[in-house]
């Protein structure tokens, strides 16, 4: 099996006044390109912690996270974040006084994109998430929540990384807009061959993914959705 990202014997805990709270206990799980994964579990089960390990915001206390077989600690955490993973936050993390286009182009500058015509490319990425040029040229603070989330996804696409992780990306959105975002993730996995890992509380979104990774009491179980629900 061709794993893009692999958790190998990963354990993680927090210490509270010398008491250890185990979050992940000897977890083994792999993620492939071309698949859309959701991470689910009760509040406090460690979903955000899991995602921070998958996106090199933190390191396991024990075990390794491997990218194409290489330990991300060896790749270097900031190097890994810059080159190999795109993170979509619930709060979008956009620059509100800039236009959508400027937000995407700024991210391209920061990540050292080698694309020659950055404006044209940014507009193409925005169009791929259904942000037309008129909206692309508006300041982000004048766009709706759903539009802002799509801009954040377009920004994540400009780094051209194979791995996209998102923490509750539909948390603030209405049902229709959330379905729209989920469809974009499905397309990115199935048409663009990306590996998508999304933390969600929402069972409908989990059912729309290819594989559900359930977290509970430090352990994980996988549910494969053979017949992926199409969102409408
Ligand atoms: N920086 C930290 N220091 C200490 N404990 C922490 C820290 N971050 C998280 N925790 C604890 O670890 C547990 C897992 O937190 P995490 O945010 O990963 O869970 P979650 O499944 O994403 O929760 P939610 O669904 O409520 O967002 C929680 O009990 C939390 O209080």
Question: Pairing state of beta strands 3-16 and 62-67?
Answer: antiparallel
CATH, residue 46: 3.40.50.300
Whether the pLDDT of residue 104 is over 60: the answer is yes
Residue 231 lies in a domain: no
Residue 229 lies in a domain: no
Residue 192 lies in a domain: yes
**Nearest-angstrom CA–CA distance, 138 and 158:** 19
- 41 Cβ inside 6 Å of ligand 1: yes
Residue 209 lies in a domain: yes
Of the listed ranges 57-66, 67-76, 80-89, 211-220, the least confidently predicted one is: 80-89
Q: How far, in Å, is the centroid of ligand 1 from the Cα of 130?
A: 34
Print the SS3 string covering 56-83.
CCCCCCEEEEEECCEEHHHHCHHHHHHH
Q: By C-alpha distance, which of 193, 223, 192, 191 is closest to 209?
A: 223
Q: What is the mean pLDDT of residues 177-194?
A: 89
Note the pTM of the prediction, 2 decimals: 0.89
pLDDT tens digits for 113-131?
888 999 999 999 899 888 9
Interface predicted TM-score (ipTM): 0.96
Helix (H, G, I), strand (E, B) or coil at 42: coil
Residue 111 lies in a domain: yes
Atom of ligand 1 nearest to the CA of 21: 12
What percentage of the chain has pLDDT greater than the value 70? 97
Residue 21 lies in a domain: yes
Containing domain of residue 49, as a range? Answer: 5-224
**Nearest-angstrom CA–CA distance, 34 and 187:** 9
- 216 Cβ inside 6 Å of ligand 1: no
- 47 Cβ inside 6 Å of ligand 1: yes
Residue 232 lies in a domain: no
- 44 Cβ inside 6 Å of ligand 1: yes
Torsion sign across C-alpha atoms 72, 152, 204, 183: negative
SS3 content of the chain, % helix, strand, coil (to 5): 35, 30, 35
Residue 183 dihedral angles phi and psi, to the nearest 5° = -60, -40
- 42 Cβ inside 6 Å of ligand 1: no
Residue 58 dihedral angles phi and psi, to the nearest 5° = -155, 165
Task: Give pLDDT, residue 232.
Answer: 40
Q: How far, in Å, is the centroid of ligand 1 from the Cα of 4?
A: 26
**Nearest-angstrom CA–CA distance, 195 and 210:** 11
Helix (H, G, I), strand (E, B) or coil at 90: coil
Say how many domains are in the chain: 1
Whether the pLDDT of residue 196 is over 50: the answer is yes
**Nearest-angstrom CA–CA distance, 203 and 229:** 11
Residue 230 lies in a domain: no
Nearest protein Cα to ligand 1, atom 25: 43
**Two structure tokens written together for 35:** 């698949």
Higher pLDDT, 176 or 123: 123
Instruction: Choose which residue among 19, 47, 166 to substitute to test ligand 1 binding: the one with the highest number of ligand atoms within 8 A of its C-beta.
Output: 47
């Amino acid at each position: 099996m061709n794993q893009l990202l692999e958790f190998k014997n990963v354990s993680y805990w927090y210490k509270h006044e010398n008491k250890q709270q185990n979050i992940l206990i000897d977890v083994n799980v792999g993620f492939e390109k071309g698949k859309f994964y959701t991470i689910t579990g009760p509040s406090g089960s460690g979903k955000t912690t899991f995602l921070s390990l998958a996106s090199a915001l933190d390191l396991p206390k024990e075990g390794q996270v491997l990218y194409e077989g290489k330990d991300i600690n060896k790749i270097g955490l900031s190097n890994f974040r810059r080159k190999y993973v795109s993170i979509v936050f619930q709060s979008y993390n956009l620059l509100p006084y800039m236009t959508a286009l400027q937000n995407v182009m700024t991210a391209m500058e920061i990540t050292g994109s080698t694309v020659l015509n950055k404006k044209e490319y940014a507009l193409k990425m925005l169009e791929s998430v259904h942000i037309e040029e008129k909206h692309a040229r508006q300041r982000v603070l004048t766009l709706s929540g759903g539009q802002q989330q799509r801009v954040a996804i377009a920004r994540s696409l400009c780094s051209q990384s194979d791995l996209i992780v998102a923490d509750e990306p539909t948390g603030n959105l209405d049902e229709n807009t959330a379905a729209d975002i989920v469809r974009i993730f499905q397309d990115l996995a199935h048409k663009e061959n990306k590996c998508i890992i999304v933390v969600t509380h929402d069972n409908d979104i989990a059912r729309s993914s290819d594989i559900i990774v359930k977290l509970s009491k430090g352990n994980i179980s996988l549910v494969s959705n053979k017949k992926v629900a199409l969102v409408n």
